[in-house]
Amino acid sequence: MPSLVQVLLPLADNGGRRISHAAYTQVRNELAQRYGGVTAYTQSPAEGQWIARGKKIHDDIIVVEVMVKRVERAWWARYRKTLEARFRQRSIVVRAHQIELL
């Protein structure tokens, strides 16, 4: 069954510095080349919020997604580590959802 893989990318690094537009372009190009297409929701950032160590954390993000026939878990784990370094993050969420094409 096909899956939708979503990557949640922050607009700023852990220190609050804005991420360059080129970093997002690179992600889109890499995923489009590997999977034949990509969708990036960039017009209005999504707002993330969570509690860590008793402190409220806020993050503006964009979502980049690809449809895949099979989730290559090892490749995605390596790519997530690459993105964490590139976007200067302790952790980046990469998630997969099984989908049914209609």
State the chain's maximal CA–CA distance in angstroms: 43
| Domain ranges, ordered by start, for the chain | 3-98
Q: What is the pLDDT of residue 50?
A: 72
Question: Tell me, which fold does domain 3-98 have in CATH?
Answer: Alpha-Beta Plaits (3.30.70)
- Per-residue pLDDT of 39-87, as tens digits, reads 999 876 777 777 878 888 778 899 999 999 999 999 999 999 999 999 9
**4-35 tens-digit pLDDT:** 999 999 999 888 899 999 999 999 999 999 99
Q: Are 7 and 83 in contact (CB under 8 A)?
A: yes
Mean pLDDT (the chain) is 92
Note the helical H segments in the chain: 21-35, 73-86
